[in-house]
């Protein structure tokens, strides 16, 4: 029941009901389903679901997109009208973003949300100055072990999904400090980098990701996390983890994440 939810969750739940009802009954009628589908593609949010009590469940970004009437309105939250048109052209080639007929909404490619998010993130990053932005990008790439940010032939920024949140937060240390606390993040950085005056070791990103996934595991499962870790060692043929700090293989990290998502 909505009335039994915490205040902040209750407010979001009520807003979700209002947004969907307005979309269906007042603003868009038969086109509401198309609008919701477009907004799911644009934001990368999960589709609208219905809870056990019949209430709509809608992610905040999806609510905002629906309220704003789709891409152009939602994009205006982040940049100018001109940039919104430019980003749409870059992220949804004309043959991909098209209308079935003059009364329908544009259909965007499934890749659109990742591309759009990359443009938003890089605009925020570059507003801090090119030198600072490059420093933030390097810190995030080092932590996540992803390829660096690149530009496509049409000028659109391209980056791996893990970099979005990291760059948006101003680098790995700031993101980590927001999620946990600065003391733990600094300790991980020192333990994983070894000699602070030397170049970062090749396994730095693996080490950082291992500490993050193990903290999540311990917080969620406590003492049972060790059994989960042992299961993944056996399942992935990974070497027994006895280093300090421990460093998992990529397969091992993926295994632990999968098991955490499923639960014990």
pLDDT (tens digit per residue) in 103-139: 567 889 999 999 999 999 999 999 999 999 999 999 9
**Which residue has tokens 């032939």?**
153
pTM of the model: 0.81
pLDDT bucket at 85, cuts 50 / 70 / 90: very high
Beta-carbon contacts of residue 196 (< 8 Å; ≥ 6 apart): 190
Structure tokens at 155: 């000028």
- Residues 72-76 have a mean pLDDT of 96
Percent of the chain with pLDDT over 90: 64
Percent of the chain with pLDDT over 70: 90
**Which residue has tokens 């905040």?**
60
**Rounded CA gap, 107 and 91, in Å?**
12
Beta-carbon contacts of residue 204 (< 8 Å; ≥ 6 apart): 142, 143, 145, 192, 193
Q: Which of 8-22, 35-49, 60-74 has the lowest mean pLDDT?
A: 8-22
Domain locations along the chain? 1-110, 112-170, 180-262
- Residues 150-162 have a mean pLDDT of 95
**Kindly report the CA angle at 172 between 45 and 222, in degrees rounded to 5?**
75
Give per-residue burial for 111-135: e unless 16+ CB within 10 Å, then b. Answer: ebbebbbbbbbbebbeeeeeeebee
Beta strands in the chain, from DSSP E residues, in sequence order: 49-50, 56-57, 150-151, 157-158
**Rounded CA gap, 16 and 49, in Å?**
11
**Rounded CA gap, 94 and 138, in Å?**
33
The torsion angles phi and psi of 172, rounded to 5 degrees, stand at -65, -40
pLDDT at 198 over 70: no
């Amino acid at each position: 029941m909505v009335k039994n939810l915490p205040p902040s969750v209750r407010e979001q739940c009520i807003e979700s009901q209002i947004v969907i009802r307005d979309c269906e009954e007042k603003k868009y009628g038969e086109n509401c389903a198309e609008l919701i589908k477009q907004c799911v593609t644009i934001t990368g949010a999960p589709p609208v679901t219905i809870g056990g009590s019949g209430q709509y469940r809608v992610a905040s970004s999806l609510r905002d997109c629906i309220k704003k009437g789709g891409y152009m309105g939602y994009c205006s939250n982040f940049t100018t009208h001109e940039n919104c048109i430019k980003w749409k052209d870059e992220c949804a080639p004309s043959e991909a973003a098209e209308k079935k007929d003059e009364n329908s909404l544009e259909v965007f490619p499934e890749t659109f949300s990742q591309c759009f998010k990359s443009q938003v993130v890089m605009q925020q990053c570059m507003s801090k100055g090119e030198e600072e932005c490059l420093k933030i990008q390097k810190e995030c790439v080092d932590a996540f072990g992803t390829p660096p940010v690149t530009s496509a032939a049409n000028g659109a920024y391209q980056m791996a999904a893990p970099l979005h949140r990291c760059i948006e937060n101003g680098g790995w240390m700031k993101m980590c400090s927001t999620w946990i606390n600065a003391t733990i993040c600094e300790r991980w950085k020192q333990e994983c980098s070894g000699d602070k005056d030397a170049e970062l070791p090749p396994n730095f990103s693996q080490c950082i990701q291992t500490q993050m996934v193990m903290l999540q595991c311990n917080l969620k499962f406590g003492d049972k996390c060790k059994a989960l870790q042992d299961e993944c060692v056996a399942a992935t043929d990974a070497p027994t983890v006895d280093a300090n700090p421990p460093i998992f293989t990529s397969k091992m990290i993926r295994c632990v994440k999968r098991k955490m998502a499923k639960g014990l």
